[in-house]
Structures are given as structure tokens and as C-alpha cells.
Amino acid sequence: MSDRFRMYRENVGRGMARFGGWAIRHPFYATLIYLAAVSLIFLVFPGLDLAASGMFHDPALGFFAQSEPFLRKLRYLGPYIVQIIAIVSILTLLLKLLLPGRAPLLPLRMPVFLLTTLIIGPGLVVNALFKNNWGRPRPVMVEQFGGDMPYVPVWLPTNWCDTNCSFVSGEASASVWLLTLAFIAPAAWRMAVLAVTLPLILALSVNRVAFGGHFLSDTLLSWGVTFLVILSVHHLLYQRPGRWLTDRGLDEALTKAGRRLQGLVTGAASAGAIRMRAFFAKFR
């Protein structure tokens, strides 16, 4: 029996290693499989959602993690980091536009990649498309946890919730978006970036489940949807870029735009100065 078990364990290990290698070579297809598997699991076993949320719920106290000061502060850490990265990215592009003769602070595909994935992933796909249209009640809203609405399975559009609903998790999406830093980091730094971001993603996402803000399925599916956006934009910018989407192409485009802007500002300032002189000349 022990020999059979050992052989079975070795075969499973080899199979997982082969699948892991395939997933690394084909991340887009692997993410689609992940989304399909997670969806199927929670559609077949919806009780998993209720069981996961129930771990953080007390009939008398509700979702008791909400009263923990540390966890409340942790919730705002993710958005704060995202805002800092977004501000730095915008300033990098603005400085290039305002000072077109200067070299950019960073290769321009970096801020473009960061801002594009943030706008499309957490912004448009997760919040505008899913959360505002799917209508899935949050755990705190459902009858099993003291609310007055029914539990709604994944991928089932309803009108129970009007806007900013549970499906899928916006904060889990914003947290997994931090993986974009590993995509643009130098190869020598990537493991260090992942060592910091992966635990943070897990902590921020589980925190929302603990608060009763999202079901576990909302979080897991949000990860996959956002990661698909990241992979797609990265492919467009770094693997199959057109000439104008390269660092050089973006530099040239912003340089031209910046010089046109300078010309417009200079022209407007000159015209304004002429009008001001003409106005004051009337009082001589």
C-alpha cells in the first residue's frame, strides 16, 4: 500500500509540475481555466460561500472583524497604495508633456501600463460593469447573516441590489492589480516584489470577506477577471506593440504633444499680453 501511495503521490507531483509549467507558458488560458473552475465549484456548491462568510459572523455580534481597529486600517492600506502608484504614473506623463525636451522619469510604457490596467480592470470591468449591474447582495445583506435579501449564486444577474453590489469584489480587484508592479519590475527584483505583494493581496482580500463586504467567490473571481485584463494589456504593450506603443513611440508622441501645448500656451500668453497693453493704453 505504501508503494502504491508513493507512486500515486509521485504521479500527482509530476502532473502538477507539468500543469504548472504549461500555466506559466500560457497564463491567459490558465486564467480562463481558473475562472471556469472557480465558477463551477461555487455554482455546484453554493454553501461554500455561506460557510466562508459564516466563519467571520456571530449571530449576536454580526461580522465582528468590522470592530477591529487594525483590520479597519488595513482596509484603507490597499486604496492608499493604489493612489500613490496612480499619482506617480500621472505625474510621470504630465512632466513629459510639460517638459517635452527632457527625458522621462521612467520608460513611458510603465505608467501607461499601470494606468490602463487600473482604469480598465478595477475601474470599468469590475466596478462599472459587474458591481453596478449584477445586483448580487453582499453577505451583510442576506438573510443568513441578519439581512433581508436572499443569497444569490455567482454569475446570476438580479435586481436585489441597485449599485455598488457584491459581485465581483472591487477591493480584491484593486489589490490583485498590484501584481502589475511585478510585470514591470527588473527581473532581479520580481521575486522580492511578489514576496511583498502576494501576502498583501491575500490580507486585503480576506479582510473584505471578514467584514461581510464580499463573498469568497466574489474575491476569487475578481482576481481572475482583473488578471485577465493585466495579461491582455501587457501583451498589447510589451509583446505585440505597434510602433507608437513602444517606449520610443510614446516618447515621440508626448514630445510632439508637449511642444504643441507649449506653442498654444505661448500664443495665448502673447495674445493676452497684446490685449492687456491695448486695454491700458486707453487710460493714458
Please indicate, yes or no, whether residues 10 and 50 belong to a single structural domain of this protein: no
| Domain match, 113 and 38 both | no
pLDDT of 1 > 60? The answer is no
Q: Are strands 62-63 and 57-58 parallel, antiparallel or unpaired?
A: antiparallel
Residues 62 and 8 in one domain: no
**Rounded average pLDDT over 170-187:** 96
pLDDT digits (tens, 9 = 90+) for 204-214: 999 999 999 99
Q: Are residues 156 and 79 in the same domain?
A: yes
Provide the pLDDT for residue 7: 64
One domain, residues 142 and 166 = yes
pLDDT in tens, 107-156: 999 999 999 999 999 999 999 999 999 999 999 999 999 999 999 999 99
Question: How would DSSP label each residue in 79-106?
Answer: HHHHHHHHHHHHHHHHHHHHSTTSPPSS
Task: Report the percent of the chain where pLDDT is more than 90.
Answer: 73
Three-state SS at 221: helix
Number of domain units in the chain: 2
Assess whether 177 and 276 both reside in one domain: yes
**CATH code of the domain containing 200:** 1.20.144
**Domain range spanning residue 17?**
1-44
Joined grid coordinates for residue 37 = 473552475
> Within this chain, do residues 136 and 9 fall inside the same structural domain, yes or no?
no
What value, to the nearest 5°, has the Cα angle with vertex 266 and ends 263 and 268?
105
- Diameter of the chain by CA atoms? 109
Are 52 and 186 members of one domain?
Answer: yes
Neighbours of 67 (CB within 10 A): 10
Whole-prediction pTM value? 0.89
Q: What is the dihedral of CA 96, 111, 125, 30, to 10 degrees?
A: 150
Judgement on whether residues 85 and 25 belong to the same structural domain of the protein: no
Cα(80)–Cα(171) distance, integer angstroms: 11
Output Rg (C-alpha) for the chain, integer angstroms. 25
Residue-level pLDDT at 2: 63
